[in-house]
Structure 1
């Protein structure tokens, strides 16, 4: 009995120490978004105690959901390490070098969008695609005076194309699992609502590319890269090739990234003559080899430490979701849905629930689950199929997370690319065109009254 009492006491102590550490971190680093989410968590915890929840129940649910953040944190560690080791081994410098030689500067933004669509469809992850191809494309953009927030927007548009429409996408598979619709049926049904937004986004980036061109005239960067790296194409692109091949073979993205990091480490040691200790330091603290040099503006960053803020957001978000679950917020949201007489109106309601879920859930997974649980019964009662539910979830809840500043779907890509979310996200046209085009399609084409 004494052991049980002591164990419960220590659990509370460790929990409060963890919360105090989180508070200290957001205050010390002046991490505004993290502070906002943490404040919401604390306020809801206090409210929960006034709704007959005990402190022990709040701690238990917080610990349970806090543990769920571990898988995402591991992914962040891989992303941070990957980008730094790719800089050390020559993969990113090589992409910049050959990119400057072969990319048409007059269609750069369009090229960025399309390349990110292709890579993210292969990798199935917006975060991984941003850390892999997004960082390289941003490095190319930094060689010119092109608007980096606009480039970041094109990258974000592209990575969410694949995050939404890839057979190995976590979000697409989650939606299929929740609704019971085959993943390939899900992907096939999404084509209709993807074509117009993709074409419109491409046209917009083509037009902007004519205004915001990549100025590479008299660029000395390729010579500087050649002077500091051995760009033997037999080796420097192997880490990238490994990621692509393993993803096509449907190997778990974390395993693919781990293999790529090991390959990058070996190439850095034997091709670039880097010391193992230095490479490990890069992987943790970031690649900052060219301090004070011209290359520092282009080839720097990454590392596990660079993902600290994103990690904090995820941890606090998971704690927050636990409280929301315990307070039965879903039942409250469901009770507010009314006056649905058409498919367009139904989608508008799902859009609204998706926005709320994205705001309070703080990450894509939670938002999808919350929206599906609220809307599932409504779709069934209106005589719509699970395929209808699946498509509407993909066109709302999956995409909407990218608009919420404190949601990991928005915060993490912006943090990796070092762009301002309030500028980049409005310019990430694909994110907004998906729900807009879907609503217009329902408004024009589907005039049937629902049950």
Structure 2
């Protein structure tokens, strides 16, 4: 509690801390389950929850201007992502009219079988996402194409969507170009590539496990029920309406090259948009400037006579992104209001004092990240808010700072797309055409990664220590390069680690 002039500012009580969240959850449950589909969006529940959060802030001594400042701070931090989201709408339209996405669908149907579709699709999407550092860009371009390929091959749409999400987030987490990757390293005060190295230790094995699961599911697809006429109809409709010269696939290569050259996200996407428009002019005969502007703004209106193709190509456009952007603005504002009134600090602030094991600390960090994803509606808050709550505890247990950054992403990034009211969930739901609760059970990378990381931590394995030691999956502790950390924090963590080793509470280096 602190005295701010004439006002006394305090943390909310537990009841006050949970009140805005309970309000939001109850309204979300009503909207998505009991509204008879008269209203099925998260916008109004969030507006009411923001009002409740501001009321709690006022009860705790915050003025409305302070609460508004908290919301604006979060919105400011999210503006670049919102601008990128607008340009992704342009990119999807550009890749539609250029023939790039239609060509991916066409050649995918010709080359892939129902048995190979899931594992190969997951790998290809992961490669695109790794190159561009964005799960949003990957799902909005090649992901849309694979959703249509899946229909043509008779694959369950939810299973295809789960595969798309898995591949997109693998690439996003491994990529040093990803905003969440850089954010996790930054808030944990560790090196970017130290963080990426730690990420590989959890996401790598889970990716392999997921590919095996997708391969098994693919081998069990009942080809007796597969109707080849659907795929043939899609191919014929695409061939009749687009020039499918293999050269129209080059805009995807441009995305990869732009990212390899480390062009920042926003200009990188715009370069890809311009490339798509040029290919539309060269290969698809799109010469009317007004038509191109209309398609980029409002999305393409392509009628091929095939319902699957028409539905697949009715994506993109800056205007079509506004529903999602409105939701993101409200969700981030709600998160900023909760952050300002001290909700997370009240709920989780004292938990870390009761944690005395690596497994317990990893679990607490993950639960806090997921809570922030769901309650504060933003993956950036799911990463940024827990970091300062737990960083000193990681030092106390002799852990490396990239252990913290890895844990933040294992949960905060991967589970953010599970909730339909978060920025990630809203975007992916709009692109993939289904509620996140429908596809998430099949997004095996996202689903299993936190579970895998938590289990191995409780087993005392897959742990990065402050002095550079690493305990692998076989329980062998080997010395590697120490992860970057603030100097004083690093010295303290190493001294704590030596103390724990002396007491037999931490493994000694064996090689």
> TM-score band, normalised by the shorter chain?
0.7 to 0.9
Aligned to 1:403: 418
Verify the 8 A CA contact 1:242 1:256 in the aligned structure 2: no
Contact in 1 for aligned 2:420/2:429 (Cα 8 Å): no
Instruction: Tell me the residue number matched to 1:217.
Output: 228
- Structure 1 residues 185 and 30, CA, compared in 2 at 3 Å: closer, same or farther? same
Question: Given the alignment of the two structures, is residue 372 of structure 1 paired with residue 387 of structure 2, yes or no?
Answer: yes
1:62 — aligned with what? 71
Query: Where do 1:56-95 residues align within 5 Å?
Result: 56-95=65-104
Partner of residue 322 from structure 2, selected from 308, 312, 317: 308
The count of residues paired between Structure 1 and Structure 2 equals: 424
Aligned to 2:15: none
1:5 counterpart residue number? none
1:105–1:216 Cα contact (<8 Å) kept:
no
Aligned with residue 241 of structure 1, among 253, 271, 274? 253
Contact 2:419 2:436 in 1 (8 A): no
2:408 pairs with 1:393: yes
1:272 equivalent in alignment to 2:287:
no
Query: How many Å separate the matches in 1 of 2:222 and 2:124?
Result: 17
Matched, 1:260 2:275: no
- Residue 3 of structure 1 is matched in structure 2 by none
Alignment-derived partner of residue 149 in structure 2: 140
**Distance change (3 Å), C-alpha of 1:306 and 1:220:** same
RMSD: 2.4
1:208 aligned partner = 217
Match of 1:286 in 2: 299
**Unpaired segments of 5 or more residues in structure 1?**
1-26
Q: Distance in 2 between matches of 1:99 and 1:351?
A: 37
Aligned pair in 2 of structure 1 residues 144, 306: CA closer, same or farther (>3 Å)?
Answer: farther
Distance 1:49 1:340, change over 3 A: same
Query: Which contiguous aligned blocks of 4+ residues in structure 1 show a shift greater than 6 angstroms?
Result: none
Structure 2 matches for 1:29-178, cutoff 5 A?
30-178=39-187
Map residues 324-343 of structure 1 onto 2, 5 A cutoff. 324-332=338-346, 333-343=348-358
- Partner residue, 1:297: 311
Distance change >3 Å, CA 145–CA 306, structure 1 → 2 = farther
C-alpha distance in 2, partners of 1:53/1:186?
37
Q: Quick check: 1:186–1:390 contact (8 Å CA) kept in 2?
A: yes
Of 309, 320, 326 in structure 1, the residue corresponding to residue 334 of structure 2 is 320
Contact 2:440 2:447 in 1 (8 A): no
Once the two structures are superposed, the pairs formed by residues 406-445 of structure 1 within 5 Å of their partners are 406-445=421-460
The secondary structure found in structure 2 opposite 1:399 is: coil
CA distance in 2, matches of 1:36, 1:158: 31
Describe the superposition over 1:391-411 as per-residue Cα deviations: whole angstroms up to 9, x where unpaired: 222323232323333222222
The structural deviation recorded for 1:156 is 0.4
1:381-431 per-position Cα deviation (integer Å, ceiling 9, x unaligned)? 333221322222232323232333322222211211112211101111111
For residues 241 and 400 of structure 1, the distance between their equivalents in structure 2, rounded to whole angstroms, comes to 29
SS of 2:335's equivalent in the other structure is helix
Q: Which runs of 5+ in 2 are unaligned?
A: 1-34, 462-474, 476-503, 507-511
- In the aligned structure 1, how far is the partner of 2:145 from the partner of 2:332? 31
Q: Is the 8 A contact 1:403 1:425 kept in 2?
A: yes
Correspondences of 1:21-32 after superposition (within 5 Å): 30-32=39-41
Q: Structure 1: how far apart are the matches of 2:96 and 2:411?
A: 36
When normalised by structure 1's length, the TM-score is 0.87
Separation in structure 2 between the aligned mates of residue 362 and residue 181 of structure 1, nearest angstrom: 25
**CA–CA separation in structure 2 for the residues paired with 1:99 and 1:377:** 50
Q: Is the 8 A contact 1:88 1:287 kept in 2?
A: yes
